[in-house]
Amino acid sequence: MGAIKTGEEREIFYSPTKIIFGLGAIKDLPNECKQLGKKPLIVTDSFMSKTEIVKDIMEILKSAGMEPGLYDGVVPEPPLESVDNGVKVALEGNYDVIVGVGGGSSMDTAKGVAIVTGNGGKVLDYVGMDQVPKPGLPKILIPTTAGTGSEVTRVFVVTDLNDNTKKVVYSAYNLSNVALIDPALTLGMPPSVTADTGMDALVHAIETYVAITATQFSDPFAEKAIRLISKYLPIATIKGENIEARYYMALAATLAGLAFASGGLGAVHALAYPLGTEYHMSHGRSNAIMLPYVMEYNLPGNFEKYAKIAEFMGEKVDNLSDSDAAIKSVEAVKRLQKNVGIPSRLRDYNIKKEDLSKLVEGGMKQARLFVPNPRNLSKEDVEKIYEMAY
């Protein structure tokens, strides 16, 4: 049982208005679109826009008598311009419903386009907590990876290239009207992307589960996600056409998204962040690398929950004390990494030992994410974790 909330603490749970999940669910899109507007704008990246996925989406919307538009200017780690350019397209074409298709960058950009088109101004005007006055355009979010969870969260992140920082917009208006998840859309993901994005979902579930901000709502979603990912990620990675594995990975990523949307994240995302900015590592890969080392350091902060994670991941924990069982959760994560082909040490990525101080500096800038972490982290602690990871 989680802690009782008293005083100023509350159990809060955010979710989209509607979640549609299932193989072939993409064919529900025209009907959902028509309930929200007349003219949909697809927001995606230039790679996705050439795939059958986006071509099919355009086709089914046209067959239903709609005139969909396409904005494929999304780039990874989307800069402010990526959103503001999409807003221009939406305004010029009088589009009234936004359909985000792709990974986290496409769905985040779609959220931004919907908010800024409906509220006016520029994306920078809405950075921070609850700075968005009105709902903006309605939106449907369609993930094509199984990891980010952006389809069910109330957050989007953009990069301000002026000072190379991430700007975050938190607002309940970022929640999608419809999160449409069709696991068939993830079938074409290559093994390394499957592994990286799947590990990102695992990090979401584990970080939320052990966070001091975890709630009675986030725990069951996190638990189910951890169970599904440890069972299905290896198969989805090495046998990508396995429908069952893709189905449950898509489900797990959405459940993990629902969990962290309300329960918060922690030090893994904080310490992974500089690996992305300094070494251009993907979000999922950098998080995957840091996960076991942060877990190991965090263990004393919540032996009981780490012991549970070991159990969810299939470890034998009968007759073990919580502290002994907790260690097995770290072993389970390392084994999973190995099974999906992710080298787990920083030295495996041509990172020099003398560069660790840069990582420490970058990690400390994300200290806001240390607040929900089950163990307080000083600069010395952060140094130790990167050394362990090296």
Scanning 129-137, 195-203, 292-300, 341-349 for contacts with Fe ion by CB under 5 A, the matching segment is 195-203
Q: Decide if residue 207 touches Fe ion (CB under 5 A).
A: no
Of 77 and 200, the one with the shorter C-beta distance to Fe ion is 200
Among all chains, which residue has been given the structure tokens 């638990």?
A: 223
Of 61 and 199, the one with the shorter C-beta distance to Fe ion is 199
> Residue 15 Cβ, how far from Fe ion at the closest point, in Å?
18
Of 71 and 209, the one with the shorter C-beta distance to Fe ion is 209
Scanning 18-26, 35-43, 200-208, 248-256 for contacts with Fe ion by CB under 5 A, the matching segment is 200-208
Q: Decide if residue 200 touches Fe ion (CB under 5 A).
A: yes
> Residue 284 Cβ, how far from Fe ion at the closest point, in Å?
7
The sheet that has 178-181: what strands, in order across it?
18-21, 178-181, 139-143, 97-102, 40-45, 69-74
Among all chains, which residue has been given the structure tokens 């290239």?
A: 161
SS (H, E, C) the chain: CCCCCCCCCCCCCCCCCEEEECCCHHHHHHHHHHHHCCCEEEEEECCHHHCHHHHHHHHHHHHCCCCCEEEEEECCCCEHHHHHHHHHHHHHCCCCEEEEEECHHHHHHHHHHHHHHHHCCCHHHHCEECCCCCCCCCEEEEECCCCCCHHHCCEEEEEECCCCEEEEEECHHHCCCEEEECHHHHCCCCHHHHHHHHHHHHHHHHHHHHCCCCCCCHHHHHHHHHHHHHHHHHHHHHCCCCHHHHHHHHHHHHHHHHHHHHHCCCHHHHHHHHHHHHHCCCHHHHHHHHHHHHHHHHHHHCHHHHHHHHHHCCCCCCCCCHHHHHHHHHHHHHHHHHHCCCCCCHHHHCCCHHHHHHHHHHHHCCHHHHCCCCCCCCHHHHHHHHHHHC
Of 200 and 223, the one with the shorter C-beta distance to Fe ion is 200
Of 45 and 200, the one with the shorter C-beta distance to Fe ion is 200
**Rule CB under 5 A: which of 65-104 touch Fe ion?**
none
Of 90 and 141, the one with the shorter C-beta distance to Fe ion is 141
Of 182 and 200, the one with the shorter C-beta distance to Fe ion is 200
Q: Decide if residue 311 touches Fe ion (CB under 5 A).
A: no
> Residue 119 Cβ, how far from Fe ion at the closest point, in Å?
26
Scanning 125-133, 138-146, 193-201, 271-279 for contacts with Fe ion by CB under 5 A, the matching segment is 193-201
> Residue 200 Cβ, how far from Fe ion at the closest point, in Å?
4
Scanning 21-29, 197-205, 231-239, 336-344 for contacts with Fe ion by CB under 5 A, the matching segment is 197-205
Q: Decide if residue 45 touches Fe ion (CB under 5 A).
A: no
Of 71 and 260, the one with the shorter C-beta distance to Fe ion is 260
Tell me the site size for Fe ion, rule CB under 5 A.
1
Position closest to Fe ion via CB: 200
353 to 372: interface string for Fe ion, x by CB under 5 A: --------------------
Of 200 and 315, the one with the shorter C-beta distance to Fe ion is 200
Residues in the site for Fe ion, rule: CB under 5 A?
Answer: 200
